[in-house]
Chain A
C-alpha cells in the first residue's frame, strides 16, 4: 500500500503544485481585499474566469491576423497575459467603484457588500457566457495548444522506489510566472511606499487617512493588483488545461478562498502557502484516497479529505496557519 503511494508521489507533486500555484495566486486576491476592507469579494473567482476568457479572445484574435507565425509563442504568451491582467485589473477597479464604494460611503453593513459581490459574480458569469456564445456558438472554449512539449522527469533511475513523472512545458510556464508574481507582490507590499500605505489602511483605515493617505486610492490600487493577478492566473489556467467555461471561477474561487482561510485570511504569504498546500493535498487525495481507505472511499471524496484537513487546522489554530490571533484591546 505504502509502496504504491510512494511510487506515484513525484507525479502527484508535479500536478499538485500546478493546481496549488493557481489556487495561491487567486487566494491572494481574496486575502488582499479582505485585509483592507474585511470584505469577502466573491466576485474574485469570476474575475479569474474573465481573465482566462480575455486571454482566449486575445489568442484567437492574434491567431486570426496571423501573428502567431511571425513571433515565438513565448512573446505571444507575454502579450496575452499582460493584456488579460490589465483588462481584469481595470474591471476589478470598476467593480469596486460601481458596487462596493457607494455601499462603503453609506456605511452599509458588511453583509450587504457580501451579497453584492455574489450578485456581481453571477453577472460576470452570464455576461461572459453570452459573449462567448455570440462569438463561437459554444461557451466551452478550447484554446489552440501552446507549450505542449512533454518532459519526462526521470526520477526512477535516481530513486528506484519512485515512478517517473511527466509534465508539459506549460507546467514550467505556470510555475515560473506564478513565482515571479508572488515574489514581486511580496516586494511591492513590504518594500514600497504604496505597499506601506496598503498595510497602514489594512491596520486602521481612519488613522491611515489622518496620515494623509488617500484611502480610496489605496483601495483602488489593491483591487487593481488583486484582480490583475487573478486575471493573469486565468490565462495560466487556459495554457495549462486548454479548456475553459464561464463556470470555472465558482469552484476554483471557493477553493482559493479556503486556501486563504487556511493560510490566515488577510495574510499574503499565508495565502500563497495555503494555496500550494491545498493543491497538493487535493491531488494527493485524488490519487491515493482509495488506496488509503482500501476502496471504501474513491477519489471523488478528495474535497472532503481536503476540507477535513482545513477543519482540523482551524480547530487548533482558528486564525489560520500564518494569521495572527486578534487581540482585543480594551
Chain B
C-alpha cells in the first residue's frame, strides 16, 4: 500500500525536476551569442512525414552552413522544428506558439497549402516572415500578405504545365481526373482540367476520393469504363500509390500523371512495379545534375544518414533565403538584433539569390520569378524518377 502512494510522489518530483531543467535551458543567450531561432513547420508525423522531414533536414543543413557567418556577428542560429501533422488546427496552434517565442525570426514551411493558409494569418498578425518551400496553392500568396513568400511555383502554373505536357507531348486526348478534395489536390486538378480542355482534350470525369482510405477500386472501375488514355491525380503519394496500383490491377496500363505530391520514394514502395509509366510534374528539379547539387546530396547523406528527397533542397533554399534576408536586416540595423518587421521587409526584398535547387527573386506578392516546373517519369520501380523536361514560367 505504501508503495502505491510513493509512485505518484515520484511522478510529481520527476515532473518538477523536468520543468526546472527545461526552464534553465531556454535562456536568452548562450556563450555570449544572441540566439536567433528559425522555425520549421512541416508534418513530421502522419501520411506525409517523409516530405516534411526532408524540408526540416534541408533547413537544418542551411543553418549549419551559415552558422559561422552569424557567429561572427554575435548571433547563434537554432532550428526550432514544429510538427504541423498536416493538420490546419495543429498548424495554427503551432503558429501561435511560434509567435509567442520572441527569439523566432522566421518560419520555413509548410508542406500543405491547407495548413499554410490559416497558419500564415497568425504569422501576418505577428509579422513573422514565412518562406514556403512547397505550398503551390494560389491563395497562399494571392491574399497579399506581407509575410508570406514562396520559392516554388504556383498551382495555376503546375497544373497547366502538366496539362501541356500530357496533351502536347504524351498526346492524351481523353483524360480522367481524380483529386483528394484538399485545397492542394483539387486546386491542382482543376487547374489541370481547365488547361487540358483549352488544349483540346476531352475530360471524361472529375472525381473526388477520401484521404486515409485504402480502397479506390470503385472510382477506378468508373474510370476504366470510360476508357481514358491518361489518368490525372491531384493529391499525395499515400493515396496516389494505391490508385496507381489498383488502376493497374484493373488493367489500365495507360500513363498516370500527378503533381509534386507524388514525388516521393514511398510512391514507389506502395505501387511497386505498377509505378512504371507514371509521370508527375513537380516544382523540384533533379539537383544531382549539377556539381553543387551533388555536393549538397553528399553532405545531406553524411549528416542525416538518409538520401535526399525532392524537397530537401527546397527546404535548404527556403532557409537560405530567410537567412539572407535576416543577414540584410542585421546589417541594416547596425549589427543589432533586428525586429520581426525588419526581417519581413528584408526577406521580401531578396533578389537573385542563387540556391541549390532554384534561383530566387520575390515579386511584390511573394512569388518567385524564377520558379520552374519539371516533368518526371518513373521508368522502373525505383526512386528517384528520371527528369523528362522543364517548363519555365513566362
> Which residues of A approach B to under 8 Å, CB–CB?
4, 7-8, 11-12, 15-16, 18-19, 129, 138-140, 142, 145, 150, 152, 163, 166, 168, 237, 241-245, 247-248, 250-251, 282-288, 290-291, 295, 298-303
Q: Choose one: B47, B206, B242, B269; the contact of A298 (CB below 8 Å).
A: B206
A-B contact pairs, 11 of them (CB 8 A): A138-B50, A138-B269, A142-B269, A145-B272, A242-B242, A244-B214, A245-B238, A247-B47, A283-B218, A288-B222, A290-B207
The docked-state distance in angstroms from the alpha carbon of A190 to that of B208 is: 44
Say yes or no: A4-B251 contact (C-beta < 8 A), given A140-B47, A286-B218.
no
- Given the complex, which residues of A lie within 8 Å of B272, measured CB to CB? 142, 145, 242
Using CB atoms, name the residue of chain B closest to A301: B208
A209 → chain B closest CB, angstroms: 30
The docked-state distance in angstroms from the alpha carbon of A322 to that of B251 is: 39
B256 → chain A closest CB, angstroms: 17
Q: Choose one: B49, B209, B242; the contact of A241 (CB below 8 Å).
A: B242
Say yes or no: A166-B218 contact (C-beta < 8 A), given A245-B47, A245-B238, A298-B208.
no
The reply to whether B241 and A243 contact each other, CB–CB distance below 8 Å, is yes
The reply to whether B214 and A248 contact each other, CB–CB distance below 8 Å, is yes
The reply to whether B218 and A140 contact each other, CB–CB distance below 8 Å, is no
The docked-state distance in angstroms from the alpha carbon of A46 to that of B209 is: 23
Using CB atoms, name the residue of chain A closest to B273: A145
The reply to whether B218 and A300 contact each other, CB–CB distance below 8 Å, is no
Say yes or no: A287-B266 contact (C-beta < 8 A), given A140-B238, A245-B238.
no
Q: Choose one: A140, A285, A302; the contact of B266 (CB below 8 Å).
A: A140
Given A11-B224, A242-B245, 7 other A-B contacts at CB below 8 A?
A8-B224, A8-B225, A11-B217, A11-B225, A150-B249, A291-B222, A299-B209
In B241-298, the 8 Å CB interface with A consists of: 241-242, 245, 249-251, 266, 269-270, 272
- Given the complex, which residues of A lie within 8 Å of B249, measured CB to CB? 150, 166, 168
Q: Is the interface of A mostly helix, strand, loop or mixed?
A: helix
- Given the complex, which residues of B lie within 8 Å of A286, measured CB to CB? 216, 218-219, 222
B212 within 8 A of A: yes
The docked-state distance in angstroms from the alpha carbon of A242 to that of B245 is: 9
- Given the complex, which residues of A lie within 8 Å of B250, measured CB to CB? 11, 166
The reply to whether B215 and A287 contact each other, CB–CB distance below 8 Å, is no
Q: Choose one: B205, B208, B241; the contact of A300 (CB below 8 Å).
A: B208
The number of chain B residues with a CB under 8 A from chain A is 34
The docked-state distance in angstroms from the alpha carbon of A239 to that of B391 is: 41
Q: Choose one: A16, A139, A290; the contact of B205 (CB below 8 Å).
A: A290
> Which residues of B approach A to under 8 Å, CB–CB?
45, 47, 49-50, 181, 205-210, 212-219, 221-222, 224-225, 238, 241-242, 245, 249-251, 266, 269-270, 272
Q: Choose one: B218, B241, B266; the contact of A138 (CB below 8 Å).
A: B266
Say yes or no: A284-B218 contact (C-beta < 8 A), given A140-B47, A245-B47.
yes
The reply to whether B242 and A166 contact each other, CB–CB distance below 8 Å, is no
- Given the complex, which residues of B lie within 8 Å of A142, measured CB to CB? 269-270, 272
| Number of A-B residue pairs with CB-CB distance less than 8 Å in the complex they form | 104
The reply to whether B218 and A129 contact each other, CB–CB distance below 8 Å, is no
The docked-state distance in angstroms from the alpha carbon of A300 to that of B185 is: 13
Using CB atoms, name the residue of chain B closest to A136: B269
Using CB atoms, name the residue of chain A closest to B226: A4
The docked-state distance in angstroms from the alpha carbon of A303 to that of B210 is: 9
- Given the complex, which residues of A lie within 8 Å of B214, measured CB to CB? 237, 241, 243-244, 248
A115 → chain B closest CB, angstroms: 21
The docked-state distance in angstroms from the alpha carbon of A79 to that of B285 is: 45
The reply to whether B215 and A299 contact each other, CB–CB distance below 8 Å, is no
Using CB atoms, name the residue of chain A closest to B252: A166
- Given the complex, which residues of B lie within 8 Å of A298, measured CB to CB? 206-208
The reply to whether B221 and A15 contact each other, CB–CB distance below 8 Å, is yes
- Given the complex, which residues of B lie within 8 Å of A7, measured CB to CB? 225
The docked-state distance in angstroms from the alpha carbon of A248 to that of B218 is: 18
- Given the complex, which residues of B lie within 8 Å of A168, measured CB to CB? 249
- Given the complex, which residues of A lie within 8 Å of B245, measured CB to CB? 242
The reply to whether A282 and B218 contact each other, CB–CB distance below 8 Å, is yes
B45 → chain A closest CB, angstroms: 7
- Given the complex, which residues of A lie within 8 Å of B50, measured CB to CB? 138
- Given the complex, which residues of A lie within 8 Å of B241, measured CB to CB? 243
- Given the complex, which residues of B lie within 8 Å of A242, measured CB to CB? 242, 245, 270, 272
The reply to whether B215 and A241 contact each other, CB–CB distance below 8 Å, is yes
Using CB atoms, name the residue of chain A closest to B214: A241
The docked-state distance in angstroms from the alpha carbon of A291 to that of B215 is: 20
The docked-state distance in angstroms from the alpha carbon of A205 to that of B381 is: 57
Using CB atoms, name the residue of chain B closest to A240: B215
The reply to whether A299 and B207 contact each other, CB–CB distance below 8 Å, is yes
B211 → chain A closest CB, angstroms: 10
| The 9 A-B residue pairs with the shortest CB-CB distance in the complex, in nearest-first order | A286-B218, A300-B208, A15-B217, A11-B221, A283-B218, A287-B222, A287-B218, A299-B219, A241-B214
- Given the complex, which residues of B lie within 8 Å of A138, measured CB to CB? 49-50, 266, 269
B253 → chain A closest CB, angstroms: 12
